[in-house]
Structure 1
Amino acid sequence: MRQVNSTFAEKMHFIDIEHTHVHSFGHLVLPLQGTLNLKTRQRSLIVDYQHILFLPPECEHSYYSKERNEFLVFYIPYTMLSHNCADEVKYLELDARWRALRFLMLSECQNKKTNTIAMNQLLYYSFQLIQQNQEYPSIRYLQENYHTSIPLKTLAILEHYNISYYSQWFQKKMGVSVQVYLQKLRLQEAKRLLRETNYSILAIAQQVGYEHQASLTRIFKQSEGMTPSAYRNSSINK
């Protein structure tokens, strides 16, 4: 297995023959042209000009490309990575900050007198971007569509995870199951509607995603120890 003791980067072109390997260092992959098809045990991803990819150490992956392509690939020693940045694959949109960072990284790599300290500082900043403000598409989808029926498969596809792994991933990230998280979102909105509107209990139940009033009443009793009507009355009397 190849060992990497210090950071370096190179431009790479990938061929159309699928290759599988694992290594003890991390990769930061920034697209310059074309697309890269990549699979891990849990995810299937397409890295294009709109995304960046971080592969942690010891992550077995397969990859290939069927078109002309070019990527800027960083080799990152495990010792340089923080725990939060080294535990899973990161697949992020290439926003304005990443575009600016890619420009600086590419300029530094093309400089014949590359400054290792400067390159490391750019990488450390990239780790901060990875760790901060990462929005998970499936969680955003739940927050925006909690009032509808949401198949688990839909959520797994949004994160590019196998459906068999998605529930484990969600539990790890959010500390609760998908179903419990969905109930919390619905309950939160139902409580707001009970406090701020005169809608009937049935109308509120249907507005937050329950077909029957009894379903909302059951969730309320489990969470609040009272019925929706009692909650509304207690809010009015405060």
Structure 2
Amino acid sequence: MRQVYSSFAEKVCFIDIKHTHIHAFGHLILPLQGTLNLQASQRSIIVDQQHILLLPPACEHSYYAKERNEFLVFFIPHTMFSHNGVDEVKHLEFDERWRALRFLMLSECQNKQTNTTAMNQLLYYSFQLIQQNHKYPSIRYLHENYHTGISLEMLASLEHYHVGYYSQWFQKKMGVSVQIYLQKLRIEEAKRLLRETNYTILEIAQEVGYEHQASLTRIFKQVEGITPSVYRSNPINK
């Protein structure tokens, strides 16, 4: 297995023949042109002009590209991952911060006097950016759309996972199932509306995603141990 002991970057063009491998170092892949198709950790991922990808060490992956392409690929030793606490695939939006960082990275790569220290500083900043701003799309979607009908298939697609694997992944990340997590989001909002508004129980039920008042009452009692009406009438919640 090939080893990488210090970080470096190359411009890489991928071919249309699917290739699968695993290595002891990691990659940070930034788009320059075209689209890269990749499968890793039960996910089907596209790296294009709107996305970047961080692959941790020892992550088996398959990749190919069907069109003309070019990517800035960093080869990162495993020690840098362990020092920064990153141990899973990160598929992130390529926003303005990453565009600015890519400009600096390209400048450093094209500098004939570039050095490992300068490259590592840019990579360390990349890790900080990933840790500070990465939000799992499906969890963000749940928080923003808990009041609507949400399918497991749709949530899994946001993370590029198969449905069966997504359920396991969510349970591991959040400590509860998707259904329980969604119920808690809805009940917390229902409690807020009970405290802060004069909406009827039916209106609150429909506001948080339940068609019928009975559905909210049943689940509210399961979670809180009392009905919404009793919760609202308790002076401590006024």
Name the SS of the counterpart of 1:122 in structure 2: helix
Aligned to 1:141: 141
How many residues are aligned here? 238
Amino acid at match of 2:63: Y
Q: Distance in 2 between matches of 1:5 and 1:84?
A: 16
Q: Distance in 1 between matches of 2:4 and 2:237?
A: 66
Aligned to 1:8: 8
Query: Which aligned runs of 4 or more in structure 1 are off by greater than 4 angstroms?
Result: 235-238
2:176 paired with 1:173: no
Compute the displacement of 1:206 (Å): 2.0
Q: Distance in 2 between matches of 1:220 and 1:152?
A: 22
CA contact (8 A) 1:29 1:71 kept: yes
Larger deviation, residues 194-203 vs 66-75: 194-203
Q: Deviations over 1:178-237 (max 9, x none)?
A: 111101111011111111222221221122112222221222222222110011111477
Amino acid at match of 1:135: K
After superposition, residues 131-210 of structure 1 pair within 5 angstroms as 131-210=131-210
- Tell me the C-alpha RMSD between the 2 structures: 1.5
Name the SS of the counterpart of 2:82 in structure 1: coil
Compute the displacement of 1:135 (Å): 1.9
Aligned to 1:22: 22
Name the SS of the counterpart of 1:191 in structure 2: helix
What runs of 5+ residues in structure 1 fail to find an aligned partner?
none
Aligned to 1:212: 212
What runs of 5+ residues in structure 2 fail to find an aligned partner?
none
Larger deviation, residues 44-53 vs 228-237: 228-237
Name the SS of the counterpart of 1:11 in structure 2: strand
Task: Give me the TM-score of the superposition, normalised by structure 2.
Answer: 0.95
Q: Distance in 1 between matches of 2:236 and 2:9?
A: 63
Aligned to 1:86: 86
Q: Deviations over 1:155-197 (max 9, x none)?
A: 0111111111111221222222111110111101111111122
